[in-house]
Structure 1
Amino acid sequence: MAQSNYLFTSESVSEGHPDKVSDRISDSILDLYLAADPNARVAAETLVTTNRIILAGEVRGPSSIGPKDLERVARDAVRQIGYEQDGFHWEKAKLECLIHEQSTDIAMGVDANEAASKEEGAGDQGIMFGYACRETDA
């Protein structure tokens, strides 16, 4: 039976929420790669919880950027936010980096799409709300 009405909700979280901290870390990782190579491809996923940071995803960019660079950028992002407490401290949180090189299958699909249509290809999908802007510091 088709339902004609449904409820659609969205959550909005504020600064300091784990989702915002994760976004800030992922954005910082993206910035690191794009500063080194404007054509880098970055799918950075971050999870934060009590004294723990997990970095995951895949990248296609300079091989000179390694796990120690990613850890430095992640910790610096948390430090800039101001987390220096027992439950979550930028210096003491356990950090696990699972970011790896973009799979050849995805890279091939994106490259083929770019060559065929001169449009940007995508290695991921998503539904986005909001927009990017330059009016805020974060």
Structure 2
Amino acid sequence: MYNRILLAVDLTDESIKVANEAVGLCKATGAELTILHVIESLNYAYGGDVPIDITDIQAQLQDTAKERIDILKDQIEIPVKECCITQGGIESEIHRIAEEKQVDLIVVGSHCRHGLALLLGSTANGVLHGSPCDVLAVKVNKD
């Protein structure tokens, strides 16, 4: 039985499919839903060697994420307990928030990868390994 579900989304168009799976589980179990979006830090993504001041860029990313998460929240048929937008390494931030919020399940989208992308791994795979709780990877395909 799940009491607290963490929906980790990348805020692309496919996020609603992943959200609908989390909503279905919340309805079935009575669990509360927290939505999380992680903005990968530009310093983290580029190994700390960013030669410009990225403060304004990071602020724009935060604003855009807030707008998109509000749109997603409006599309969901249940109340959302909390929305979190964090910055850092995606998998490590998902794990950190899952532990902090003491969630029972993380729901994350999984793109079907092939070839080199499959060998390098995916966010869903990274979340699964080292997760403090169950993980549901929802298969999403771009049409």
TM-score, with normalisation over the residues of structure 1? 0.29
Larger Rg: 1
Structure 1 or 2: larger helix share? Answer: 2
TM-score, with normalisation over the residues of structure 2? 0.28
Q: Which one has more relative contact order, counting CA pairs under 8 Å at least 6 apart? A: 2
Structure 1 or 2: larger strand share? Answer: 2
